[in-house]
Chain A
């Protein structure tokens, strides 16, 4: 070997040796910059290894959240997201190719609460609101969502052809908002030929079980208006621009429903529309005819829909078959049950959307990526067409009426709280109130007919027309009073626009229902009637003034009408309840006595005084 070759070899040897020493030095230096010791919280059952406390001091966590969610039981990442295993800020907080879930956004944090707090009454405002909206909007009709029941009060479509005209259905499917600003049904993006096909299909369905409307005597519109007022339809329905918006606007009934159908509906509601939330009215035929006459006069010209008209010509079976296909494709059958049409969820299941990574979610047509799963869902709810791409078929998802951004985000949060594998049971909190169970037998049939839960709440569920919940109503009101009230409801709360409608109960029916309410809706917290001392009532009068009861209640010739009137309260209220309420307002849900907790020595005399207030019976003929 030549010396030149040797020198070359020595140079390479020296270079390689120096390089190795240098590189090892770099590796050691890198090791040095890592924390020498790490702190971590382990929760094996949750798969949590959270090293966040290496840098963060859990004692400085703001708020009281950790009192009920100690870090040693929950870790950090369950609520905050991020990579608990990481020991550098960047790796812990940000997304990387091997960790797709960075720290949670605010909305994702709420969704994280909902992961453990399941049920419609979860104590997180946005989660509960979102779950309620998911149920109300009928999302579970097309999507599978754990814990959200499919909608069940859309009208059945059998008999539709006897109720509305084809022109109305066309207008409704084109833009329901024009016909009913408070409508619930979402708008499907249908073309004119598709709508024609659907109408053809709907007109092949069986007719309604109608009884013929007598031609004589003819209805009278003026009497009809009086009849509407008498029954208190305005509690739920708007007419002449006033009234509740729980039911459809009656001003639009003239162009919507066929007179014969309306007459049938009023004389025997559930015969032609068994799934309605409206109580089963059985109005006298003449009253019904009068109301029908009144409704026919209610024109709303700018909807462009003429009054009821029959379907022109025969139904084209080919068109109807196409309509059935469309009906199935759009999942109509999941809300509107129709025999023979598919009613299975037709849209992607949402029961594991909380696991979705941002990269899995579709981008908007403009290529925008949403910041988190809740925002993506909110965008989808508010404008599903925002995700349509040029080549693909447009989304079949409909647009929902009057969705506020807050509601949409709450829905997104509720959806994002759904995971394929939720935490183990010890970490789960169920917030599902016990459902309202109607009694068996004849009473049950009455409850089914009068549909109390459409308007009244029970255990936090039910309608919100009435402010009077059914929980412990039996312990609050006297049975005799209830009986009369059911038959002939009177005004107790002057400030309430919604008044209980005249349901047309017989004595027998009212008795039965009152007895059921009295026995089935008791409350252990409300004791028997207290023993009042002789001078309690006198003492109570002073206390009544002292506690400024008159600011809300009418009583003894004074006061205001914010609360129920107290004159003659003894006829109505259970004495034990009055005392219990004064002691702790929580005995009635949604009570406005909030915060007024009186000691026994005040509550008893006050109750004695209130119950001593004189007042005439609202039913002068009633014995008591």
Chain B
């Protein structure tokens, strides 16, 4: 019996618990889950400040969102007549319904923020430069997918908040010249947000966008490894102090750290989900427009800009932002100061990028907190 158990174990885990560096390397290579990691990593790449763990946190959040999302799908009906009541059932009768919805909601907000910060970090350390250009573009794609996932999920509770946020979002999409109207109809399946839009958003949110995300995440992680691992400074004092080419085995150094980040992220999210309830407003009522009607917070910067000019603020700047982000690695190609934050050689790039990020943060904060009825400025957030 023991023999059989041993046989089964060996059939799955070909290498046992690694006892030496050689076995550890073998373990990393032979396991599909661990194989996305390199067998060995540079010590500098293990430093917290090299990544702030933002990429791993994003992956953990994506995993948590998938798990909670599947649970929610068991109880959710994507039809206006019952969608909101599904939220009520989650709140009142479904076991762990409240905490699951909270985890999903806060996890989604966190993921939007973390993925954005991840992009900021990669930019600041020059991680988009050759040979990582394509992976940066893939990252931009993942950022857009994250926003799209969050936006499509926003509608599903079918409450006033969801309905009007998505109405505003769809209206902003409608401001695109020529393509705006067809784009809106393609998105909503109708002239206004209704049952067709709810079904479309549901399918996008639960099937199409997650599939794209998973695929692109696979590509992204694979390319991290194939492009030479994390970007670290060639002239990092610590790297220099070590022997050239010195590597630590990923097992346990990298894997353990990842595990800790995963646990911490989970704990933080769980704590948040137990303390704060996901917002829910009254049932969507197309005849009762809240004043002001606001998009989800991550689009409020765009809404704020769109308030100044529907085309320039709502279409041109966002489109230009994505275009510039994608073109960036093919324009800014010199390798000076890569792997360090704010190196002298990249003062202009860092400054411009930070200025833009700051600008967008400020308009987002204004749009979120300081805009009252009729989009009038309020000096005191309510």
Q: Is the CB of B281 within 8 A of A98?
A: yes
A86 CB-CB contact with B under 8 Å: yes
Q: Give the B interface residue count (CB, 8 A).
A: 31
User: CB within 8 Å of B: which of A430-448?
Assistant: none
Provide the main secondary structure of the chain B interface: helix
B237 CB-CB contact with A under 8 Å: no
Q: Is the CB of B267 within 8 A of A19?
A: yes
Bound complex: CA A20 to CA B266 (Å): 7
A229 CB-CB contact with B under 8 Å: no
Q: Is the CB of B89 within 8 A of A85?
A: yes
A-B contact pairs, 25 of them (CB 8 A): A1-B248, A1-B253, A9-B260, A12-B264, A13-B256, A13-B259, A16-B264, A19-B263, A23-B270, A24-B270, A27-B99, A27-B274, A30-B274, A38-B93, A49-B85, A85-B85, A85-B88, A85-B92, A86-B92, A87-B92, A91-B91, A91-B92, A97-B281, A98-B87, A99-B282
B95 CB-CB contact with A under 8 Å: yes
Q: Is the CB of A20 within 8 A of B267?
A: yes
Mark interface residues in B97-136 (1 if CB within 8 Å of A CB, else 0). Answer: 0110000000000000000000000000000000000000
Bound complex: CA A23 to CA B130 (Å): 44
Mark interface residues in A47-62 (1 if CB within 8 Å of B CB, else 0). Answer: 0010100000000000
- Report how many A-B pairs have Cβ atoms within 8 Å: 67
Chain B residues contacting A100 (CB-CB under 8 Å) are 282
Mark interface residues in A23-37 (1 if CB within 8 Å of B CB, else 0). Answer: 110110011000000
Chain A residues contacting B377 (CB-CB under 8 Å) are none
Chain A residues contacting B181 (CB-CB under 8 Å) are none
Q: Is the CB of B274 within 8 A of A23?
A: yes
Q: Whole-angstrom distance from the CB of A533 to the nearest CB of chain B?
A: 71
Q: Bin the interface of chain A by size.
A: 20 to 34
Bound complex: CA A20 to CA B282 (Å): 33
Q: Whole-angstrom distance from the CB of B372 to the nearest CB of chain A?
A: 16
**Contact pick for B92, options A17, A20, A23, A51, CB 8 Å:** A51
Chain B residues contacting A88 (CB-CB under 8 Å) are 92
Chain A residues contacting B260 (CB-CB under 8 Å) are 9, 12-13, 16
Closest to B262 in A: A16
Q: Is the CB of A19 within 8 A of B271?
A: yes
Q: Is the CB of B256 within 8 A of A9?
A: yes
Q: Whole-angstrom distance from the CB of A303 to the nearest CB of chain B?
A: 49
Q: Is the CB of A31 within 8 A of B267?
A: no
Mark interface residues in B55-95 (1 if CB within 8 Å of A CB, else 0). Answer: 00000000000000000000000000000010111011101
Q: Is the CB of A20 within 8 A of B159?
A: no
- Whether A30 contacts B248 in the complex (CB less than 8 A), given A20-B263, A23-B271, comes out as no
Bound complex: CA A319 to CA B115 (Å): 70
B246 CB-CB contact with A under 8 Å: no
B280 CB-CB contact with A under 8 Å: yes
* 5 closest residue pairs by CB, A with B: A16-B263, A19-B267, A98-B280, A23-B270, A85-B88
Chain B residues in the interface with A (C-beta under 8 A)? 43, 46, 85, 87-89, 91-93, 95-96, 98-99, 159, 248, 253, 256-257, 259-260, 263-264, 266-267, 270-271, 274, 279-282
Q: Is the CB of A9 within 8 A of B257?
A: yes
Q: Whole-angstrom distance from the CB of B143 to the nearest CB of chain A?
A: 27
Chain B residues contacting A49 (CB-CB under 8 Å) are 85
Bound complex: CA A604 to CA B43 (Å): 117
Bound complex: CA A100 to CA B93 (Å): 20
Q: Is the CB of B282 within 8 A of A26?
A: no
Bound complex: CA A27 to CA B263 (Å): 17
Bound complex: CA A339 to CA B46 (Å): 89
- Whether A31 contacts B93 in the complex (CB less than 8 A), given A1-B248, A98-B281, comes out as no
Q: Is the CB of B99 within 8 A of A87?
A: no
Q: Whole-angstrom distance from the CB of B271 to the nearest CB of chain A?
A: 6
Known: A31-B96, A85-B85. 16 other contacts (CB 8 A): A1-B46, A12-B260, A13-B256, A16-B264, A16-B267, A23-B267, A23-B271, A27-B274, A31-B95, A38-B93, A51-B92, A85-B89, A91-B91, A97-B280, A98-B159, A98-B280
Chain B residues contacting A85 (CB-CB under 8 Å) are 85, 88-89, 92
Q: Whole-angstrom distance from the CB of B174 to the nearest CB of chain A?
A: 28
Q: Whole-angstrom distance from the CB of A389 to the nearest CB of chain B?
A: 15
Mark interface residues in A1-17 (1 if CB within 8 Å of B CB, else 0). Answer: 10000000100110011
Chain A residues contacting B259 (CB-CB under 8 Å) are 13
Chain A residues contacting B264 (CB-CB under 8 Å) are 12, 16
Bound complex: CA A16 to CA B89 (Å): 31
Bound complex: CA A1 to CA B99 (Å): 39
Bound complex: CA A8 to CA B184 (Å): 52
Chain B residues contacting A91 (CB-CB under 8 Å) are 91-92
Closest to B81 in A: A47
Bound complex: CA A49 to CA B93 (Å): 12
Chain A residues contacting B43 (CB-CB under 8 Å) are 1
Chain B residues contacting A24 (CB-CB under 8 Å) are 270
Chain B residues contacting A20 (CB-CB under 8 Å) are 263, 266-267, 270
**Contact pick for B93, options A12, A87, A98, A99, CB 8 Å:** A87
User: CB within 8 Å of B: which of A239-256?
Assistant: none
Chain A residues contacting B271 (CB-CB under 8 Å) are 19, 23
User: CB within 8 Å of B: which of A569-614?
Assistant: none
Chain A residues contacting B266 (CB-CB under 8 Å) are 16, 20
Closest to B265 in A: A16
Bound complex: CA A311 to CA B267 (Å): 87
Q: Is the CB of A27 within 8 A of B96?
A: yes
Q: Whole-angstrom distance from the CB of A526 to the nearest CB of chain B?
A: 53
Q: Whole-angstrom distance from the CB of B135 to the nearest CB of chain A?
A: 28
Chain B residues contacting A98 (CB-CB under 8 Å) are 87, 159, 280-282
Bound complex: CA A88 to CA B93 (Å): 10
Q: Whole-angstrom distance from the CB of A75 to the nearest CB of chain B?
A: 14
Closest to A16 in B: B263
Q: Whole-angstrom distance from the CB of B165 to the nearest CB of chain A?
A: 15
Chain A residues contacting B92 (CB-CB under 8 Å) are 38, 51, 85-88, 91
Bound complex: CA A564 to CA B279 (Å): 71
Chain B residues contacting A26 (CB-CB under 8 Å) are 274
Chain A residues contacting B89 (CB-CB under 8 Å) are 85
Bound complex: CA A175 to CA B197 (Å): 58
Bound complex: CA A128 to CA B193 (Å): 41
Bound complex: CA A397 to CA B159 (Å): 35
Closest to B264 in A: A16
Q: Whole-angstrom distance from the CB of A529 to the nearest CB of chain B?
A: 63
Chain B residues contacting A86 (CB-CB under 8 Å) are 88, 92
Mark interface residues in A549-577 (1 if CB within 8 Å of B CB, else 0). Answer: 00000000000000000000000000000
Bound complex: CA A97 to CA B280 (Å): 7
Chain A residues contacting B279 (CB-CB under 8 Å) are 97
Chain B residues contacting A12 (CB-CB under 8 Å) are 260, 264
Q: Is the CB of A27 within 8 A of B270?
A: yes
Q: Whole-angstrom distance from the CB of B164 to the nearest CB of chain A?
A: 14
Q: Whole-angstrom distance from the CB of B292 to the nearest CB of chain A?
A: 16
Q: Whole-angstrom distance from the CB of B345 to the nearest CB of chain A?
A: 31
Q: Whole-angstrom distance from the CB of A521 to the nearest CB of chain B?
A: 48
Bound complex: CA A86 to CA B280 (Å): 14
Bound complex: CA A86 to CA B93 (Å): 9
Bound complex: CA A87 to CA B88 (Å): 10
- Which of A23, A31, A91 has the most chain B CB atoms closer than 10 A to its own CB? A23
Bound complex: CA A13 to CA B271 (Å): 16
Q: Whole-angstrom distance from the CB of B162 to the nearest CB of chain A?
A: 11
Bound complex: CA A408 to CA B253 (Å): 78
Q: Whole-angstrom distance from the CB of A91 to the nearest CB of chain B?
A: 7
Q: Is the CB of A17 within 8 A of B96?
A: no
Chain B residues contacting A17 (CB-CB under 8 Å) are 263
- Which of B93, B159, B259, B279 has the most chain A CB atoms closer than 10 A to its own CB? B93
Bound complex: CA A98 to CA B285 (Å): 12
User: CB within 8 Å of B: which of A73-90?
Assistant: 85-88
Q: Whole-angstrom distance from the CB of A352 to the nearest CB of chain B?
A: 9
